[in-house]
């Protein structure tokens, strides 16, 4: 492997890590706090991408303004999801899983019927290429990386340094004790859903520009998010960062040595081995259900 | 003498019988004059990763079927038949293909099957052969069981990977004679071990060598930056991509340009340059595709008619694939030439069929050396490209494509 290829792989690793962290952050929040396996996270991500496309390309708005509006609109789904789809089955894993699958299927099928024969992509949020000797990185990837890193820091600050964040941690750790402390668990859950939807919308818009849009673009989101959350550890938002680097590293380096479909299988194999050695993930607690 | 009541009853019975004869007679005569239908199953990926091309193909096949029916359908031994298309979603997977074939054969009772797309042919072969179902493919990637001596009931109505490869090599020789070596990138779709020697031979016969090993990626891959990095490291004059869709080509091209790689990208598929541009963004330049260009010089009249009708159903500027729709256009001609709907009669008639008109222009039966069976229709292919400024241009027709 040449130096250029190695440095290129490091850059790919950092970009992939930031991409996966961006995707998994909202999912991790809901999984850690509400013990909710948000299967519909992928379709929220997909809707975010398409909404940003509609605003920026179809209506001709400024792309960054479109991103902000998209986040605002998609965030409004959060309280609706919590009130009507998750609250009736609060902490009922099986039922919330079924509800999530139902939401995913309905939204994906609707989008597939209306959009599936169109090739669409958002315009890049940043153009140009940054060259450093033989190494070059697109500004688009740099911006995605920076936004992913900033959002991770923001969520970690929210969780660890604010009253709301501490309440979220309390709900995630012990529901009954939180109720006894007077914490409004439904309000906290709704807030978590709002944040999760907003993060999914950001991810869908940024990655919709980088990778293109499609009705099934969210399929891989659930898989990657679940891997990151389990690997990083239940209840640990910071663990997402380490897990993102590990999974991003595997996906960036493995294709350089192994060709084709074997990379996917080997990547899963590596993750399984890690979990066999550390069942709680890197920083997590035991799952409560 | 009959009573009034009995006369009235008798009149009612006669009136009812008269109405019944009139109604049934009308229905029968209507049925007798209406053309019969040939039920043709269509395997397309309406969901899953191939759903964009799959849904395009559904619209295209409906268009091709309409063209055939508007011209009077098929006449076999004096009897007129219209084509009745029965689409089924194969879910972009082998398992989905098998399930869809099951449904078409046993539930929908179709008489012929078109598709599946791309390289899923082996998944439909066992059931089609077991049921002696004539199955016309819209593409072939040369995997065992796709089109060979063991699939006598299978026809191929499109050039397939090898036809596209030969056509693209002709384009390279004519327009880029300085290209003497290529780095090959392709989806790891199971056809690669069988395509490698065939494509290497085709390139070598034309003075082009293959640099290094093929760079492969899983079909479902989302981020292609590692693939682009690996490809950029292979020293060759250009990139050659035999099989793939716009969602592969665009991101790889984007990744290549981001690394500073400005080599020409020769793509043997039919995803249009406009779609590749959508996914490649600012990196969309110096790429060739074998997609048709509406209104281009040399386009056969049936292709222009097809494009016009297709855009009336779809959006103007929508992508064209013309693979399964080629099968939908060719199958009625085969049936008409065989003058039978019976599979054995059709197979007996095949060796006598030389030329077939396709949507791409005049085609001929071939493929004995490549597939082991002379069941493929080979036809001309067009080209288009994005120049070094990213402007789309028509690249001309390759009219002497042959798949031996």
pLDDT digit string, tens, across residues B251-269 = 999 999 998 899 999 999 9
Question: Which chain B residues are Cβ-neighbours of A144 within 8 angstroms?
Answer: none
- State whether the Cα torsion B314-B320-B321-B327 is positive or negative: positive
Per-range mean pLDDT, top range of A2-11, A251-260, B100-109 = B100-109
For testing contact with chain A, the best of B45, B249, B281 (most A CBs within 10 A): B281
Average per-residue pLDDT in chain A?
Answer: 86
- Please enumerate in sequence order all residues whose Cβ is within 8 A of that of A137, keeping only pairs 6 or more positions apart, or say none: A11, A129, A130, B258
- State whether the Cα torsion A249-A250-A252-A257 is positive or negative: positive
- Per the CB < 8 Å rule, is B218 touching A263? yes
Per-residue pLDDT tens over the stretch B290-303: 999 999 999 999 99
* pLDDT above 70 for A248: yes
Phi-psi region of A2 (alpha: psi -120 to 50; beta: other; left: phi over 0): beta
> Rg (Cα) of chain B, in Å, rounded?
25
Which is nearest to A154 in space by CA: A126, A125, A195, A191?
A195
Out of A4, A5, A255, closest to residue B227 by CB: A255
Does any CB of chain B come closer than 8 Å to the CB of residue A112?
Answer: yes
Residue window 29-68, chain B: list those with CB within 8 Å of chain A.
46-49, 51-52, 54-56, 59
ipTM of the prediction: 0.85
Does any CB of chain B come closer than 8 Å to the CB of residue A260?
Answer: yes
Distances (CA, A) of A174 to A231, A237, B86: 22, 17, 56
Question: Which chain A residues are Cβ-neighbours of B318 within 8 angstroms?
Answer: 117-118
Q: A289 pLDDT band (50/70/90 cuts)?
A: very low
Does any CB of chain A come closer than 8 Å to the CB of residue B223?
Answer: yes
CA distance linking residue B8 with residue B12, whole number of Å: 6
Decide which of A68 and B7 is more confident.
Answer: A68
Look-up of token digits 């303004």: A65
For residue A129, the 8-state DSSP code is E
For residue A88, the 8-state DSSP code is G
Q: How far does the CA of residue B246 sit from the closest CA of chain A (Å)?
A: 8
pLDDT at B90: 94
CA distance linking residue B97 with residue B179, whole number of Å: 39
Does any CB of chain B come closer than 8 Å to the CB of residue A252?
Answer: yes
Q: How far does the CA of residue B260 sit from the closest CA of chain A (Å)?
A: 7
pTM to 2 decimals? Answer: 0.86
Which is nearest to B187 in space by CA: A161, A77, A31, A260?
A260
Cβ-count burial A236-271 (b if 16+ within 10 Å, e if not)? bbbbbbbbbbbbbbbbbbbbbeebbbbbbeebeeeb
Cβ-count burial B19-46 (b if 16+ within 10 Å, e if not)? eeeeeeeeeeeeeeeeeeebebbbbbbb
Average per-residue pLDDT in chain B?
Answer: 90
Q: How far does the CA of residue A122 sit from the closest CA of chain B (Å)?
A: 8
* pLDDT above 50 for A287: no
Q: B307 pLDDT band (50/70/90 cuts)?
A: very high
For residue B271, the 8-state DSSP code is -
Question: Which chain A residues are Cβ-neighbours of B229 within 8 angstroms?
Answer: 5, 8-9, 12, 256
For testing contact with chain B, the best of A1, A12, A116, A137 (most B CBs within 10 A): A116
For testing contact with chain A, the best of B228, B259, B315, B321 (most A CBs within 10 A): B259
- Per the CB < 8 Å rule, is B54 touching A212? no
Which is nearest to A232 in space by CA: A247, A222, A251?
A247
Fold category of B36-161+297-384 in CATH? Rossmann fold (3.40.50)
Residue window 202-221, chain B: list those with CB within 8 Å of chain A.
213-220
* Other CB atoms within 10 A of residue B76 CB: 18
Average pLDDT over residues B367-372: 90
Which is nearest to B206 in space by CA: B168, B161, B236?
B168
For B162-294+387-397, CATH number out of 3.40.640.10, 3.40.50.2300, 3.40.1410.10, 3.40.710.10 equals 3.40.50.2300
- Domain map of chain B by residue range? 1-34, 36-161+297-384, 162-294+387-397
> Rg (Cα) of chain A, in Å, rounded?
19
Per-residue pLDDT tens over the stretch A127-148: 888 888 778 888 998 998 899 8
Q: Which tokens sit at A101?
A: 């699958």
Q: Which tokens sit at A250?
A: 């595997």
- Domain map of chain A by residue range? 26-220
Which is nearest to B184 in space by CA: B119, B252, B259?
B252
Q: What percent of chain B has pLDDT over 70?
A: 95
B36-161+297-384 against B162-294+387-397: fold identical? yes
Average pLDDT over residues B225-236: 92
- Per the CB < 8 Å rule, is A255 touching B282? no
Out of B46, B52, B215, closest to residue A119 by CB: B52
- Per the CB < 8 Å rule, is A252 touching B226? yes
Q: B126 pLDDT band (50/70/90 cuts)?
A: very high
Q: How far does the CA of residue B234 sit from the closest CA of chain A (Å)?
A: 11
For B246-350, where are the alpha helices, taking DSSP H only? 246-258, 273-280, 301-313, 324-338, 343-349
Look-up of token digits 């309905």: A106
pLDDT at A269: 85
Out of B49, B219, B258, closest to residue A138 by CB: B258
* Range of lowest pLDDT (A263-267, B56-60, B105-109): A263-267
- Per the CB < 8 Å rule, is B215 touching A259? yes
Nearest CA in chain B to A255: B226
Residue window 213-232, chain A: list those with CB within 8 Å of chain B.
214-216, 220
For testing contact with chain B, the best of A203, A255, A257 (most B CBs within 10 A): A255
């Amino acid at each position: 492997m040449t130096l250029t290829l190695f440095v290129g792989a490091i850059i790919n690793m950092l970009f992939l890590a930031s991409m996966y962290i961006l995707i998994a952050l909202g999912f991790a929040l809901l999984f850690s706090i509400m013990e909710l396996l948000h299967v519909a996270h992928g379709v929220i991500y997909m809707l975010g991408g398409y909404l940003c496309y509609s605003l920026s390309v179809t209506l001709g708005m400024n792309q960054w303004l479109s991103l902000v509006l998209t986040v605002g609109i998609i965030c409004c789904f959060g309280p609706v999801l919590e009130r009507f789809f998750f609250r009736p089955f609060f902490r009922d894993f099986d039922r919330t899983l079924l509800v999530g699958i139902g939401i995913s299927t309905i939204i994906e099928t609707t989008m597939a019927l209306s959009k599936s024969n169109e090739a669409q992509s958002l315009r890049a949020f940043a153009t140009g290429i940054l060259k450093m000797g033989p190494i070059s990185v697109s500004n688009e990837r740099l911006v995605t990386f920076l936004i992913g890193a900033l959002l991770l820091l923001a969520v970690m600050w929210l969780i660890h340094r604010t009253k709301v964040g501490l309440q979220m941690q309390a709900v995630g750790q012990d529901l009954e004790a939180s109720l006894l402390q007077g914490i409004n668990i439904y309000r906290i859950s709704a807030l978590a859903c709002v944040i999760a939807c907003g993060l999914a919308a950001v991810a869908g818009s940024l990655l919709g520009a980088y990778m293109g849009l499609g009705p099934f673009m969210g399929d891989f989101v659930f898989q990657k998010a679940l891997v990151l959350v389990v690997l990083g550890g239940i209840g640990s938002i910071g663990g997402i960062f380490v897990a993102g680097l590990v999974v991003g590293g595997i996906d960036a380096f493995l294709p350089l040595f192994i060709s084709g479909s074997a990379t996917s299988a080997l990547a899963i194999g590596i993750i399984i081995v890690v979990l066999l050695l550390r069942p709680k993930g890197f920083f997590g607690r035991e799952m409560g259900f | 003498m009959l009573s009034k009541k009995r006369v009235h009853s008798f009149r009612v019975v006669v009136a009812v019988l008269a109405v019944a004869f009139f109604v049934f007679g009308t229905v029968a005569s209507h049925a007798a004059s209406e053309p019969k239908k040939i039920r043709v199953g269509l395997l397309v990926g309406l969901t899953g990763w191939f759903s964009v091309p799959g849904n395009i193909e559904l619209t295209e096949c409906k268009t091709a079927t309409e063209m055939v029916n508007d011209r009077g359908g098929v006449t076999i031994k004096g009897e007129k038949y219209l084509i009745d298309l029965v689409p089924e979603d194969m879910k972009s997977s082998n398992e989905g293909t098998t399930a869809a074939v099951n449904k078409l054969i046993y539930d929908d009772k179709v008489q012929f099957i078109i598709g599946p797309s791309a390289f899923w042919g082996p998944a439909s072969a066992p059931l089609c052969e077991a049921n002696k179902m004539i199955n016309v493919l819209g593409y072939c990637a040369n995997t065992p069981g796709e089109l060979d001596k063991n699939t006598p009931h299978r026809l191929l109505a499109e050039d397939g990977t090898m036809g596209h490869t030969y056509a693209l090599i002709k384009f390279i020789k004519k327009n880029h004679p300085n290209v003497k070596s290529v780095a090959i990138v392709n989806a790891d779709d199971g056809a690669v071990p069988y395509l490698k020697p065939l494509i290497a031979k085709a390139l070598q016969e034309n003075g082009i060598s293959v640099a290094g090993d093929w760079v492969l990626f899983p079909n479902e891959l989302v981020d292609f930056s590692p693939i682009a990095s690996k490809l950029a490291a292979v020293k060759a004059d250009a990139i050659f991509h035999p099989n793939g869709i716009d969602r592969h080509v665009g991101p790889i091209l984007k990744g290549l340009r981001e690394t500073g790689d400005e080599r020409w990208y020769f793509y043997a598929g039919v995803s249009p340059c406009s779609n590749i541009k959508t996914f490649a963004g600012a990196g969309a330049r110096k790429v060739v595709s074998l997609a048709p260009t509406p209104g281009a010089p040399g386009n056969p009249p049936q292709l222009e008619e097809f494009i016009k009708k297709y855009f009336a159903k779809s959006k103007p500027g929508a992508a064209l694939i013309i693979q399964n729709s080629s099968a939908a256009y060719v199958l009625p001609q085969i049936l008409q030439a065989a003058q039978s709907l019976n599979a054995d009669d059709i197979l007996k008639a095949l060796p006598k069929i030389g030329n077939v008109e396709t949507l791409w222009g005049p085609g001929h039966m071939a493929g004995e050396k490549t597939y082991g069976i002379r069941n493929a229709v080979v036809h001309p292919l067009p080209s288009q490209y994005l120049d070094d400024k990213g402007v789309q241009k028509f690249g001309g027709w390759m009219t002497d494509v042959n798949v031996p």
